[in-house]
């Protein structure tokens, strides 16, 4: 049960947040937007204004008249003020400045479209707290953290921008989003096609829900990404959990000491932390697959190009016992310490203690119930999906219970034939592609599957090390967007 909950919390916080979990230590995430190093990721000469819109807290009831200041970022430096389009990023579960600074495709593309750029922050994240510091302290306040409320915020904000910005009243709006933000952009188009002419939903696992995708799919995709480089790598990682278990069982404190030193842990490992250690390892594999980009990531914690390939190098031959653990530790350090500057690693570091994580934890306990399981063919520990346990755990944590089927009824599940003008892009290496739309559903619901692509690679800024596949994807995306704007 503990392992299930650990995994659940892991998956609950991982989607999209992976960037911050990976590149910025979790407890730092909320600060990242204000870090000059992050701001510098914007292409040179590009800038935006930070604005706030007085937004309704409850769009779906009229008794609560409270409003809050929703943050949004605007750049009109490329905009044709005579009706040029608006590129509208539907903010994820995190600080919008981070997404603004790391969604280079929008910036790279806006000039040729003469588009205004807007990045809208998702309520309950970043600065957009409906009840300020109290937002997360009271279930009755967290009640307003739903995707429907977020979409209503976006629609209302766009109506406001169009009605108050001279020249924008007839501007067509294109939604962009990656990961959960991509899900939102797709859902935005299906629920508010009056507001957006189309949506680029990058790496959006809109089918990662009950009965739409096998619960094993995510872990299998991670495993495939590792096996792309080495079957031995997968085999080794798959065996490391039982190896650690047996080691601790038979070796006692000496084994704990060996593990502490091999993984360079900041705190000596305790006997009751084996599950935490193994969960921490699992987290890393998922993250590595998602950020298996073709070039070094240049965030606070740099990663090499193709980090899964790098992580698999020390695991390319069959290893046993201590050699196996040492190999896995080397792989881990690719993830956490590729520059060699980290003094020690902290297995309790991830996915705790910040509001972004808490927010997604809440969402995954209400609407975003994504079934996950694993078996012994993956780089994860076998685990079954137990909805009842999830429900209990959610009730314990947030005093709410998930509604498994609502997200499917509300956002149409696989019955998308009435939808139009959505691009679903997914990367071959990205675990979340398992819940994505991988084949075109119609002439205007276009799937783009990017060979060797990781998590919304196409939304990142152009890079000289980009693969031909992602270059081709971006060209196709621009062509389709252009069609939306012409029709």
> Which two tokens mark 66?
């409270």
Cβ atoms of 247 and 258 within 8 Å: the answer is yes
Kindly state the number of chain residues that form the binding site for a copy of itself, as judged by CB under 8 A: 46
Residue 59 is among the residues annotated as catalytic for this protein: no
Rounded to whole angstroms, the Cα distance separating 167 from 469 reads 37
In the block, tokens 């507001």 appear at: 195
Shortest spacing between CB 190 and a copy of itself, in angstroms: 9
Rounded to whole angstroms, the Cα distance separating 28 from 337 reads 17
Binding letters toward a copy of itself, positions 137-176, x by CB under 8 A = --xx-xxx-x-xx--x--xx--x-----------------
Shortest spacing between CB 71 and a copy of itself, in angstroms: 20
Shortest spacing between CB 175 and a copy of itself, in angstroms: 13
Residue 27 is among the residues annotated as catalytic for this protein: no
According to DSSP, the β-strands at 198-202 and 173-178 are parallel
Shortest spacing between CB 366 and a copy of itself, in angstroms: 4
Please pick, among 135, 179, 185, 260, the residue that the annotation labels catalytic.
Answer: 179
Residues 185-224 interacting with a copy of itself (rule: CB under 8 A) = 191-195
Rounded to whole angstroms, the Cα distance separating 263 from 333 reads 8
3-state secondary structure of 206: coil
Residue 301 backbone phi and psi in degrees, to 5:
-115, 100
CA 430 remoteness from chain centre: 11
Please pick, among 357, 430, 458, 466, the residue that the annotation labels catalytic.
Answer: 430
Q: Which helix (H) or strand (E) holds 187?
A: helix 180-191
Q: How many CB atoms are located within 10 Å of the residue 230 CB?
A: 18
Shortest spacing between CB 426 and a copy of itself, in angstroms: 22
Residue 172 backbone phi and psi in degrees, to 5:
-85, 145
Q: Which helix (H) or strand (E) holds 274?
A: helix 274-290
Cβ atoms of 48 and 317 within 8 Å: the answer is no
According to DSSP, the β-strands at 173-178 and 86-90 are parallel
The one among 60, 111, 442, 475 contacting a copy of itself by CB under 8 A: 60
> Which two tokens mark 452?
């060797």
Residue 449 is among the residues annotated as catalytic for this protein: no
For a copy of itself, give the closer residue by CB, 99 or 484: 484
Nearest C-alpha neighbor of 99 from the set 422, 432, 461: 461
User: Binding segment for a copy of itself among 23-31, 52-60, 174-182, 457-465 (CB under 8 A)?
Assistant: 52-60
Please pick, among 59, 449, 455, 456, the residue that the annotation labels catalytic.
Answer: 455
For a copy of itself, give the closer residue by CB, 364 or 428: 364
For a copy of itself, give the closer residue by CB, 249 or 403: 403
Shortest spacing between CB 184 and a copy of itself, in angstroms: 16
Q: Is 8 among the residues that bind a copy of itself (CB under 8 A)? A: no
User: Binding segment for a copy of itself among 42-50, 56-64, 318-326, 333-341 (CB under 8 A)?
Assistant: 56-64
Q: How many CB atoms are located within 10 Å of the residue 254 CB?
A: 11
Q: Is 366 among the residues that bind a copy of itself (CB under 8 A)? A: yes
Q: Is 135 among the residues that bind a copy of itself (CB under 8 A)? A: no
Binding letters toward a copy of itself, positions 382-421, x by CB under 8 A = -----------------xxxxx-xx--xx-xx-xxxxxxx
Strand ranges, E, within 140-217: 173-178, 198-202
Instruction: Return residues touching a copy of itself (CB under 8 A).
Output: 56, 59-65, 139-140, 142-144, 146, 148-149, 152, 155-156, 159, 191-195, 365-367, 399-403, 405-406, 409-410, 412-413, 415-421
Active site residues: 179, 430, 455
């Amino acid at each position: 049960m503990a392992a299930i909950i650990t995994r659940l919390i892991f998956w609950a916080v991982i989607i999209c947040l992976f960037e911050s979990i990976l590149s910025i230590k979790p407890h730092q995430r909320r600060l990242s937007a204000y870090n000059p190093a992050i701001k510098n990721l914007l292409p040179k000469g590009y800038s935006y204004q930070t604005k706030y819109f007085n937004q309704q807290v409850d769009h779906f009831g009229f008794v609560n008249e409270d409003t809050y200041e929703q943050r949004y970022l605007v750049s009109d430096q490329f905009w044709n003020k005579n009706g040029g389009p608006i590129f509208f990023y539907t903010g994820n579960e995190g600080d919008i400045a981070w997404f603004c600074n790391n969604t280079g495709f929008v910036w790279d593309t806006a000039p040729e479209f003469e588009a205004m750029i807007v990045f809208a922050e998702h309520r309950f994240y970043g600065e957009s707290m409906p009840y300020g510091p109290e937002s997360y302290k009271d279930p009755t306040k967290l009640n307003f953290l739903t995707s429907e409320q977020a979409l209503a915020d976006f629609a209302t904000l766009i109506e406001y921008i169009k009605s108050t910005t001279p020249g924008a009243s007839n501007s067509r709006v294109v939604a962009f989003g990656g990961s959960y933000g991509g899900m939102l952009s797709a859902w935005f188009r299906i629920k508010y096609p009056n507001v957006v002419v189309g949506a680029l939903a990058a790496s959006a696992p809109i089918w990662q829900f009950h009965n739409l995708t096998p619960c094993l799919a995510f872990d299998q995709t991670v495993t495939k990404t590792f096996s792309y480089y080495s079957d031995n790598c997968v085999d080794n990682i798959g065996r490391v959990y039982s190896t650690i278990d047996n080691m601790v069982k038979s070796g006692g404190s000496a084994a704990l000491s060996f593990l502490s030193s091999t993984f360079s842990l900041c705190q000596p490992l305790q006997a009751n932390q084996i599950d935490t250690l193994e969960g921490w390892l699992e987290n890393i594999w998922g993250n590595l697959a998602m950020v298996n980009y073709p070039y070094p990531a240049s965030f606070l914690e740099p990663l090499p190009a193709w980090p899964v390939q790098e992580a698999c190098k020390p695991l390319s031959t069959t290893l046993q016992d201590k050699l196996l653990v040492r190999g896995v530790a080397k792989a881990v350090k690719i993830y956490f310490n590729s520059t060699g500057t980290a003094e020690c690693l902290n297995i309790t570091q991830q996915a705790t203690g910040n509001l972004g994580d808490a927010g997604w934890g809440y969402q995954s306990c209400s609407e975003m119930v994504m079934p996950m399981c694993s078996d012994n063919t993956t780089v994860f520990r076998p685990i079954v999906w137990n909805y009842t346990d999830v429900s209990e755990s959610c009730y314990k944590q947030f005093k709410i219970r998930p509604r498994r089927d609502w997200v499917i009824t509300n956002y149409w599940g696989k019955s998308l034939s009435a939808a139009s003008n959505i691009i679903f892009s997914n990367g071959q290496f990205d675990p979340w592609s398992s819940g994505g739309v991988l084949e075109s559903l119609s002439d205007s619901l276009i799937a783009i599957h990017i060979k060797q692509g990781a998590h919304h690679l196409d939304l990142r800024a152009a890079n000289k090390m980009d693969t031909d596949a992602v270059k081709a994807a971006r060209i196709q995306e621009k062509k389709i967007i252009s069609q939306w704007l012409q029709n």
